[in-house]
Structure 1
């Protein structure tokens, strides 16, 4: 009678007693210096249900089973013990557990047939504090096991999670070469366009100053000016990602439109040409200041384009202000003393920036 009651008690435990939690053992990661380290794990499964529903040893029912320590803690420890030390990792990621479930049903020969489903999202907070979802990982496995041995369940979980780490490493290795979201810095480089490739456009070149042949526009009716030149500037950018850095190649274009520039009859003097050249020089100086404001420290990965646009607009305003000030103080070039003062000022700035010697 006592033996019967003991057997009944054991059967009751198998049917209704809580099962031991699953233990997630660490597994060696095959990359000595991964690009990432796991900063945090968040369980975002709706309702945070038990991770597994496993058959009891009698195959009479399934019971809920969790990871030892809970999903977040177990995965965090698994990452810490499986991955190398994160000191050299470039990206510290947060793993969001979107799905992680094991479901078993009875199979032949007192076996349990199980299905594992895993879906993880990997987030990274970039250097500017913005959270970027990098990629998602989906995986799964089917297995059969003896009812008395749960080792295959723990191994399947281990290998699928390790597969997620391998997937992220491969994704980063590819993305760091071309995905701007992974960039950690912007490094601009500048080139001034000096090639004379357009018939109606003269690009600023210290070795090629203005000549009267560049003034092809129709002279204006008689007025206060002997000539007029219409310089401007623009920039063109070509970004590319190189090893986690946005290499931003910028072409700076300081130009005069020939067909908008004119000279009145009998006004083709060296003095007047110098006055117009100084208008061109002033634009070149403004653009040099624009270039120096667009430093790596001033450009952010997320907003480098809008920052450049804002600096461009400010520099364009500065250019217009300087042009007006120059004409007002020199009275359109008719005040020789004022003109000479501006000549000296502009020459000094051109030398100071290394534009001319």
Structure 2
């Protein structure tokens, strides 16, 4: 008779420490935003680090249900937020507990949390701030359980949300995310002539302003080079996206020319009217700019640039039409019609 001996080896079960984030009643509230989602950018949203067990072995520190649900539910339950405000996305960049034994046989621990907060503005997400929090702690080997870590984890999260809330409260009036619309400010026209520039409002043009060399092949007696420009500064004031615009109507002497023997009063009036047409175009541009409404800085900048380019094209078109219909001042009737037309336009814009 044979006896079969069955040897059983009992291995200790691998122990993990799991946390369940407890509710928190926040003693502050969000007036201008709400947290719509939490996204963990780390490899795992469940893993928090390695911690020591009583037997001096290391084990995983985990969070039940993952960080995304745990933190989002924590804020939804205990943090009063404005659901009609700006939607914020919180991304977890770093979150970890680490421990090491010291010379006294105790455990020195360190925990750290780093977040990035983004706001949703129309179809874009804009970075808002980067809260962070950390803790240093000391414990004995016999305390590796939820009560040793959950309060630290929750405290870091609440500290980051408190930082976020304070940042928004202190900066809301100058943050693009929280704008309530746009405002266009038109500054006065430039008057002072500098360098190779004669501004429209400084004076009428004279033949002394035509300093360029006449092209040999040109059949015309004179040509003025007028143009428009806008200096634009974008800023945020009192929750408004503000565009401060400095309009300029000018001519460039070095590119304007007149042939010898052509410096008469009639020809100068013709060239001055080209300058007047440029002012008309600027008046129209200013009216278009005043009507701009935007909710993002990119849109505000793009709209201003679009209107400027459209006006520049209109200026070139009108200048060409004026020369065609007046036959470069040879058609007196056509010239007179344009003089009357431009004067009426200037009155409308004044």
TM range (shorter): 0.7 to 0.9
* Distance change >3 Å, CA 275–CA 298, structure 1 → 2: farther
Query: Pairwise mapping of residues 70-85 of structure 1 onto structure 2 (< 5 A)?
Result: 70-85=66-81
Cα offset, 1:253, TM superposition:
1.2
DSSP-derived class of the 2:187 partner: strand
**2:322 matched to which residue of 1?**
326
Query: Matches of 1:50 and 1:251 in 2, distance apart?
Result: 56
C-alpha contact 2:92 2:114 (8 A) present in aligned 1:
yes
Provide the rounded CA distance (Å) in 1 between the counterparts of 2:99 and 2:212.
Answer: 85
Residue 272 of structure 1 is matched in structure 2 by: 267
Residue correspondences, number: 336
Distance 1:263 1:284, change over 3 A: farther
Residue aligned with 1:287, SS = helix
Question: 1:47 and 2:41 equivalent?
Answer: no
| Pair 1:155–1:125, CA change in 2 (3 A) | same
What is the alpha-carbon distance in structure 2 between the residues aligned to residue 33 and residue 179 of structure 1? 15
Contact 2:45 2:68 in 1 (8 A): no
- Return the alpha-carbon distance in structure 2 between the equivalents of residues 23 and 290 of structure 1: 58
1:3-49 deviations in Å (ceiling 9; x for gaps): xxxxxxxxx99x6677664333314244x445542110112220334
Q: 1:143 aligns with which of 133, 137, 144?
A: 137
C-alpha deviation, 1:174, in angstroms: 6.1
Q: Which moved more, 1:227-236 or 1:144-153?
A: 144-153
SS for the counterpart of 1:302 is helix
- Per the alignment, in what secondary structure is the counterpart of residue 329 of structure 2? coil
Displacement after TM superposition at 1:299 (Å):
8.0
- Structure 1 residues 68 and 182, CA gap change in structure 2 (3 angstroms): same
Who is 2:158 aligned against?
A: 162
- Is the 2:241–2:296 contact (alpha carbons within 8 Å) kept by the matching residues of 1? no
- 1:96 and 2:91 correspond: yes
Q: Distance in 2 between matches of 1:299 and 1:173?
A: 20
Residues of 2 paired with 1:67 and 1:201: CA distance? 69
1:331 Cα shift?
Answer: 0.9
Are the structure 2 counterparts of residues 267 and 114 from structure 1 closer, same or farther at C-alpha, using a change threshold of 3 Å? closer
Query: Take 2:133 and 2:88, find their aligned partners in 1: how far apart are those partners?
Result: 19
Instruction: Find the aligned partners of 2:80 and 2:336 in 1 and give their Cα distance.
Output: 69
> What is the Cα deviation at residue 76 of structure 1?
0.5
CA spacing shift, 1:223–1:160, aligned 2, 3 Å:
closer
What is the rounded CA distance, in whole Å, between the counterparts of 2:242 and 2:217 in structure 1?
51
Query: Residue 195 and residue 111 in structure 1: after superposition, are their counterparts in 2 closer, same or farther (change >3 A)?
Result: same
User: Aligned residue for 1:7?
Assistant: none
Residues 338 and 50 of structure 1, relative CA distance in 2, 3 Å threshold? same
Q: What's 1:26 paired with? A: 24
Segments of 5+ residues of structure 2 without an aligned counterpart are: 1-10
Q: Which residue of 1 aligns with 2:120?
A: 125
CA shift, 1:71, in A, is 1.7
Deviations 1:249-277 (A, max 9, x none): 221111122352437537422x4333222
Contact preservation (8 Å) 1:200, 1:257: yes
> SS of the counterpart of 1:346?
helix
CA drift at 1:323: 1.1
Q: Distance in 2 between matches of 1:276 and 1:323?
A: 10
Aligned to 1:134: 128
TM-score normalized with structure 1 length: 0.76
Contact 2:175/2:236, CA 8 A, preserved across alignment: yes
- Structure 1 residues 307, 273: closer, same or farther in 2, change over 3 A? same
SS in 1 for 2:39: strand
Q: Cα distance 1:111–1:263, how it changes in 2: closer, same or farther (>3 A)?
A: same
In the alignment, what sits opposite 1:153? 149
Mark the runs of 5 or more structure 1 residues left unpaired by the alignment.
1-11
Residue 231 (structure 1) aligned with residue 226 (structure 2): yes
Mapped contact 1:100–1:118 kept (Cα < 8 A): yes
